[in-house]
Structure 1
Amino acid sequence: MGIIALVFVLAMAIGIPIAFVLGASSLYYFVFLGNIPLSMIGQKMFSGIDNYVLLAIPFFILAGELMNRSKITDALISFSNILVGRIPGALAQINIVASVFFAGITGSGVADTAALGSILIPAMEKEGYTPAYAAAVTVASSVIGPIIPPSVVMVIYSMATGESVGALFAAGYVPGLSIALVLMILAYYYAIKQKHPRRVEKIPMKQVILTLRESIIGLLCPVILIAGIFSGMFTPTEAAVVACLYAIIAGKYLLKTMKWKDVFESFRGAAVASAITLMVIAMANLFGQVLTLERIPSLVADVMLGITRNRFVFLMLVNLFLLFMGMIMDPGASVLILAPILLPIAISLGIQPLHFALVMIVNLNIGLITPPVGTCLYAAAPIAKLSIEKISKAVLPFVGVELIALMLLTYIPELTLFVPRLLGYIY
């Protein structure tokens, strides 16, 4: 495994996409080190994506594409302005609140950064915010996207561990809102310290009603989706399809902001994004087979339990490890490789599986805004016209408060388990 680790690190260092890093490392093992028929490579890759639950991923991505092209983003920003526009640092607060609403549509941090950032980063700069601060607020709040359902990473976690998608979705609300709250507190602090502007004039009632009407059309999408899943009316995959149909109807016939050309472009964009995600899943499944053949899960378990059998210390070690992994690897790939290894250890120490799932998911998603692999940083850089280094420096205080929220979620399990318990997923 030392050779495999070397191949893995070298491939990552020269900037090869994570799917091909996993594939190259696995291929090296099977060809030169393993006594396994090469026909297993194709079989393991296909079996990794031959899962009904994973059908939800392309449809969730498509729903996000359709909602974005139907200008729902503009309505959500206007709605957020009504809610928090008079708080100091108004545009920063709007950015964070809009991310909460947008999370219920896309389930993707990068989509959040691209859609909201393209509107709010220039708007914040125009209002006198520095480009680095505007980009930092945008990327920091984009972490909320994959935590508040629907979430692509949660679907992948469900496939990797067998945990209920509905239970994971239910557990995501409080962590997501907790991160939004700490970000808003920090934005308020900066607004007072740096005298950031806020809206002082009242919005005419006619405009409020119009904004509410348009935003409700967008917000109904996640409501229908989540209500359907929690009520048992349809599965997560069926819910994703319903979300797509609703997005087309809303954009084409209710808001009348989308043409058939936009629908077809959404299908094309979703196909590309889905192909990338499913390629990562296929390669991660192949790499997982290498780890299994080399008995890495049992080795990691022995090492972890050799260090400590205290679940609080174990959670701290896992936090540090996952934060590091989030810095160098895509969250989806990390979940597929690490969840089957770490979850049995957590269960053996008496940690509730659903609680551990959210600790892991929040940890890895913070990696979306930390270099060198932080994909949200790369999405924000061209919008803000800044280097990755400048945005990374500006986002550090926001990462700090997100880590505070992570610690609270880690050591107060009921923050995560309250909603699933309320809905009957756990007792």
Structure 2
Amino acid sequence: MSAAILFGSMAIMIALGIPIAIVLGVSSMLTLLAAGSPLGVVPAMMQATVQKFSLLTIPLFVLAGAIMDKGGISKRLIRLADSAIGPVHGGLGYVAVVTALFFAAISGSGTATVAAMGSILIPAMKRQGYDAGFSSALSAISGSLGTVIPPSITFIIYGMITGESIGDLFLSGIVPGLIFGLMLCIAVWVQAKKHGWKGDTKRATAGELWKMFLDTVWGLLSPVIVLGGIYAGIFTPTEAAAVAVVYSFIVGVFIYKELHLEELKETLFSTAKTTGMILLIIMNAGIFSWVLTQQGIAASLTEMALTLTDNKYVMLFIINIVFLCAGCVMDNTSALYILVPIIMPIAKALDINMIHLGVILVLNLSIGQVTPPVGPNLYVAADIGQVKFEDICRKMVPLLLMSLVALFVITYVPWLATCLIPGA
């Protein structure tokens, strides 16, 4: 009965277009009322959910990425990559993927990466004759790398839910993120050969590249300092996020001298807005997760799932389908808080590595960022590229197919996710 009320009320409210944060809270309270449980526990659960030191990483990494973008790092990364690749087929497409890898390692956010990189790359690709829809689709899905490449906000949230080491989760995302990027580059190469898309810039000389590298090196050092500090044991992920903010500010203001008061105010406001939205979802999702456990719904769903199959490879396939569908209708934070408490006991019962599982879930959700109807990266990229939503969805198909190939490989070769983790 409790499960019917919880999921039934959720489905109705989602169909009515009510924001997911409100849906999670209201459906949980309706379930508690139906079970005769007091609602006085709700405020306490909301407070307990967000009263965690590790949550500070979210606004800090978002702020660091915004400061580095406004401070000039994104355009320097693009210029360096474009000059190195030159007039090859699909050159700017490769630049879009490679610079997304670098910027994702600064911002930790897929949508932030799309906004920062796409605003420069999409117009540049259109000028070189690339299809506007494909250019926008590529920027959208390249930005999804922000949820796989460390530091990833999605990994942080998964780590808080499951209790897994955030440092290990960061390490686990590096190889899968690179595989994801390689598959996208293959898709770019095929489309560029088919349509004759070719860069019009000459490959820079070694001296010119060295000069541009020296100009860009301060931005490139950011992920090295942050991730190196975490893995060397110098600071925790939360402290690393604070270091990233301070370093980004110094680079933007004193080295590149492109970050001014107006840009700083804008980044602070946008960070506060983004953080507020995330924390509201987390507070209500915390209630939802507690109700799942308290009402015995999670345990019942676990038993039901295990009666379907006791083969972990089949279960991994089912988990992929569930999370791909979830990514189509909800944001990453909500999907993790709703589904991980259900998936986690099933995975443990089947001896599925929780770090490997985290990579699989984050990959699924990163693909979800470019699948309608939610797909936030699609809307951002379509707006920048000034293309119709239907057009960007159509051009996304070959890129999605290659992303699914990457997902399949990483799902069934767990070593790719754990190979960099000491003792794994």
Instruction: Please give the secondary structure, in 2, of the residue aligned with 1:43.
Output: helix
**d(CA) in 2 for partners of 1:157 and 1:316?**
20
Residues 1:223 and 2:224 aligned together? yes
Please say if residues 66 and 248 of structure 1, whose CA atoms lie closer than 8 Å, have aligned partners that are also in contact. yes
Equivalent in the alignment of 1:12: 14
After TM superposition, the structure 1 = structure 2 runs for residues 136-215 of structure 1, keeping only pairs within 5 Å, are 136-199=137-200, 201-205=202-206, 207-215=208-216
- 1:321-370 CA distance string (max 9 Å, x none): 11111111111111122222212221221221111111111112210000
Whichever residue aligns with residue 251 of structure 2, its letter is: A
Equivalent AA in structure 1 for residue 309 of structure 2: T
1 CA distance for matches of 2:336 and 2:221? Answer: 30
What is the deviation of 1:36?
Answer: 2.1
**One-letter amino acid of the counterpart of residue 332, structure 1:** T
Contact 1:44 1:285 in 2 (8 A): yes
Separation in 1 of the partners of 2:408 and 2:72? 36
Please state how far the C-alpha of 1:57 moved relative to its aligned partner.
0.8
Tell me by how many angstroms 1:85 deviates.
Answer: 3.4
Question: How far is the alpha carbon of 1:198 from its aligned partner?
Answer: 2.3
SS at match of 2:145: coil
Deviation at 1:385, TM superposition (A): 1.7
> Displacement of 1:29 after TM fit?
2.5
RMSD (CA atoms): 1.4
The offset of 1:308, in angstroms, is: 0.7
Contact 1:87/1:93 (8 A) holds in 2: no
**Correspondence 1:360-399 to 2 at 5 A:** 360-399=361-400
TM-score using structure 1 length: 0.96
Contact in 1 for aligned 2:88/2:198 (Cα 8 Å) = no
| 2:117 alignment counterpart | 116
- Deviations 1:372-409 (CA, angstroms, capped at 9, x unpaired): 11111111121122232221121111111101000000
How does 1:11-410 map onto structure 2 within 5 Å? 11-30=13-32, 32-199=33-200, 201-205=202-206, 207-410=208-411
Matches of 2:197 and 2:270, distance apart in 1: 37
Please give the secondary structure, in 1, of the residue aligned with 2:407.
helix
| Runs of 4+ off more than 6 Å | none
Amino acid in the other structure paired with 2:269? R
Once the two structures are overlaid, the 10-residue window that deviates more, 277-286 or 343-352, is: 343-352
2:258 alignment partner, SS class = coil
User: Could you tell me how far 1:204 is from its partner in structure 2?
Assistant: 4.6
**Cα distance between partner residues in 2 of 1:123 and 1:13:** 39
Following the alignment from structure 1 to structure 2, what is the Cα–Cα distance between the partners of residues 11 and 130? 38
Instruction: Give the conservation status (yes or no) of the 8 Å contact 1:172–1:358.
Output: yes
| CA distance in 2 between partners of 1:252 and 1:65 (Å) | 13
In 2, are the aligned partners of 1:45 and 1:283 still within 8 Å (CA)? yes
What's the offset of the Cα at 1:232?
Answer: 0.8
Unaligned runs of 5+ in 1: none
The residue type paired with residue 238 of structure 1 is E
Q: TM-score, normalised by structure 2?
A: 0.96
How many residues are paired up? Answer: 422
Q: Amino acid of the residue matched to residue 20 of structure 1?
A: I
Mapped contact 1:85–1:93 kept (Cα < 8 A): no
Are the counterparts in 1 of residues 327 and 364 from structure 2 also a CA contact under 8 Å?
Answer: yes
Say if 1:85 and 1:299 are closer, same or farther in 2 by CA, change over 3 A: farther
Distance 2:272 2:262 in 1: 15
Does the aligned pair in 1 maintain the 2:369–2:376 contact within 8 Å? yes
Select which of 1, 4, 11 maps to 1:2: 4
The alpha carbon displacement at 1:5 in A equals: 2.2
Question: 1:236-274: per-residue Cα shift (whole Å, max 9, x none)?
Answer: 000000000000000000111111332232222111111
Q: 1:376 to 1:254 in 2, by over 3 A?
A: same
Q: Distance in 2 between matches of 1:338 and 1:350?
A: 18
**Greater mean deviation of Cα atoms: 76-85 or 235-244:** 76-85
User: Which amino acid in the other structure matches residue 256 of structure 1?
Assistant: K
Q: CA deviation at 1:14?
A: 2.9
* Offset, 1:45: 0.9
Q: Say which SS state the counterpart of residue 143 (structure 1) adopts.
A: helix
CA distance in 2, matches of 1:13, 1:386: 27
**d(CA) in 1 for partners of 2:125, 2:141:** 15
The percent identity for this pair of structures is 36
Q: Residue by residue, what CA displacement relative to the aligned partner does 1:89-120 show, whole Å, maximum 9, x if unpaired?
A: 11111111111111111111111111111111
Partner deviation per Cα, 1:8-67 (whole Å, 9 max, x = no partner): 12222232222122122223333x413222221111111111111111111011101111
Greater shift after overlay, 251-260 or 380-389?
Answer: 380-389
How far off its partner does 1:206 sit?
Answer: 5.1
**How big is the shift at 1:200?**
5.7
Distance 1:69 1:397 in 2: 32
Q: Secondary structure at the match of 1:393?
A: helix
